[in-house]
Amino acid sequence: MTDALLTGANASTEVPLKRRLRRAERTRQVKALALVAPLLVFLLFTFAGPIVGMLWRSVEDSEVRQVFPHTVAALASWDGRDLPDEMAYAALASDILAARASGTIAIAAKRLNYALNGFRTILTSTARNLKAVPEPGTAKETLGKINPAWRERATWTTIKDASGPVTGFYLLAALDLTRNADGAIVAAPPDQAIYRDVFARTFLISISVTALCLILGFPVAYLLATLPPGRSNLLMIFVLLPFWTSLLVRTCAWIVLLQSKGVVNDSLHWIGIIDEPLRLIYNRFGVCVAMTHVLLPFMILPLYSSMKAISPAYMRAAASLGAPPLTAFLRIYLPQTLPGIGAGSLLVFILALGYYITPALVGGAADQMISYFIALYTTETANWGLASALGAVLLLVTLLLALVYGKLVHGQQVTGGMKN
């Protein structure tokens, strides 16, 4: 800025000082923005772009459009009340023949099978038995004969719903909803309606872990904030060392400790409390213990800084005014730690919601959280629409909570409590 001021001074002295100052300030602002710009561009490419791309995939619907272009065009004017006309049947027959020739029928079959179980069979049987383009006017009859499903309205509404270019199908499916043949939003069939359970489970695990962290973290933060700096700095190592230790190391350590021949079971057996080893891992208990261990520092650190800011004079004042210790604690100390409790709990909850590695390694099949299903549909079954839709829901919840967290910890430090 001094640079800008100096060049301003060299310029014509006729320009009023006020304007020169304003110009200098503007140059300064442009320079400042130019320094931030590289990071913004970089994040656009490596972070924002990919996430917007994922959100787009949660509503994109292009498979059926690509494979059955004529059918989609023919169904555009169909009102969906009765069976479509002969033209749509003829278009479908020629589309199926073309798709069979180019080998793309499986792409459409996969998409349609998501919406209507068994659609893949309908398409493959039709493709197998359709010898040639039906004589004009006989397409409806021919297809109906090959597979009676073509005489049902639901088969056709499924195709029309999947014609794209955008669809609410995946987002609805992520919430256990679907559209029926009349286009109304109804509950999804029970065999597909698993995601509300998964979201509920994700919330339940996250809340349990947050509560455990608060219960365990509060006394520790209190101790650290109350002890003289020398001793509390030393004890802080017990919090910071696990914080810096790799997540994989800690998860691996819990497997070693909690397995059926692990340290915990052996010790309990040796003391004589148990005869048979307890099942402590690959279940909900193991997930909660390991996640609490990983996330506890995120609770202790914000609690500690909020407690550190409380002047001991308040407690002395309360005592001198005759408040019994418990009353003083509940009415004077605890309320002042509430911002710390709020920040720590929200932080732990937000981080817990998106957990993937720990439940994947120490949980059973019934303990997998939403991230597991997002990963599963992305890499294993390649149902990218559903993976993206589940991701969109998780992202929305996370961002809303992060917004609350940001307000709580005052604008600037949206993630200030994260690693320091």
Question: Which residues contact residue 182 at a Cβ distance below 8 angstroms, ignoring those fewer than 6 apart?
Answer: 80
Confirm or reject binding of residue 238 to another protein (CB under 8 A).
yes
Cis before 136 (ω within 30): no
By beta-carbon proximity to another protein, the closer residue of 80 and 354 is: 354
Q: CB 114: neighbour CB atoms within 10 A?
A: 19
Confirm or reject binding of residue 54 to another protein (CB under 8 A).
yes
Nearest residue to 289 via CA among 259, 254, 262: 254
By beta-carbon proximity to another protein, the closer residue of 74 and 258 is: 258
Maximum Cα interatomic distance, the chain, rounded to a whole number of Å:
101
Q: How far is the CB of 73 from another protein (least distance, A)?
A: 28
Is residue 259 within a helix (H) or strand (E), and if so which, with residue range?
A: none
Is residue 324 within a helix (H) or strand (E), and if so which, with residue range?
A: none
By beta-carbon proximity to another protein, the closer residue of 52 and 186 is: 52
Site mask, another protein, residues 279-308, x = CB under 8 A?
Answer: --------------x--xx-----------
Which residues ranging from 339 to 398 are in contact with another protein (CB under 8 A)? Answer: 350, 353-357, 361, 371, 374-375, 378-379, 384, 387-388, 391, 394-395, 398
Confirm or reject binding of residue 263 to another protein (CB under 8 A).
yes
By beta-carbon proximity to another protein, the closer residue of 97 and 223 is: 223
Confirm or reject binding of residue 235 to another protein (CB under 8 A).
yes
By beta-carbon proximity to another protein, the closer residue of 76 and 247 is: 247
By beta-carbon proximity to another protein, the closer residue of 136 and 228 is: 228
Q: How far is the CB of 222 from another protein (least distance, A)?
A: 6
The single residue among 47, 145, 204, 327 that binds another protein, judged by CB under 8 A, is: 47
Is residue 105 within a helix (H) or strand (E), and if so which, with residue range?
A: helix 105-115
Structure-block tokens of residue 92: 């479908």
Q: How far is the CB of 24 from another protein (least distance, A)?
A: 12
Confirm or reject binding of residue 53 to another protein (CB under 8 A).
yes
By beta-carbon proximity to another protein, the closer residue of 125 and 415 is: 415
By beta-carbon proximity to another protein, the closer residue of 364 and 416 is: 416
Report DSSP letters for 173-211, one per residue. Answer: HHTTEEE-TTS-EEEPPTTT--HHHHHHHHHHHHHHHHH
Confirm or reject binding of residue 247 to another protein (CB under 8 A).
yes
Stretch that binds another protein, among 70-78, 181-189, 191-199, 235-243 (CB under 8 A): 235-243
The single residue among 326, 335, 366, 380 that binds another protein, judged by CB under 8 A, is: 326
Helices (H), 11-75: 17-43, 49-57, 63-67, 69-75
Angle between helices 119-129 and 105-115 (to 10 degrees): 150
Nearest residue to 173 via CA among 161, 155, 152, 189: 189
By beta-carbon proximity to another protein, the closer residue of 31 and 145 is: 31
Structure-block tokens of residue 174: 């992520």
Q: How far is the CB of 363 from another protein (least distance, A)?
A: 12
Confirm or reject binding of residue 332 to another protein (CB under 8 A).
no
Confirm or reject binding of residue 242 to another protein (CB under 8 A).
yes
Stretch that binds another protein, among 98-106, 111-119, 123-131, 252-260 (CB under 8 A): 252-260
Decide: 64 and 104 in contact? Cβ < 8 Å: no
Question: What CA–CA distances, in Å, run from 319 to 79, 227, 308, 330?
Answer: 78, 20, 19, 13
- 3-state class percentages of the chain: helix first, strand second, coil last, to nearest 5: 75, 0, 25
The single residue among 20, 57, 111, 120 that binds another protein, judged by CB under 8 A, is: 57
Confirm or reject binding of residue 31 to another protein (CB under 8 A).
yes
Place of tokens 């350590």: 253
Q: How far is the CB of 172 from another protein (least distance, A)?
A: 20
The single residue among 16, 18, 39, 184 that binds another protein, judged by CB under 8 A, is: 39
User: Residue 43 corresponds to which amino acid?
Assistant: L
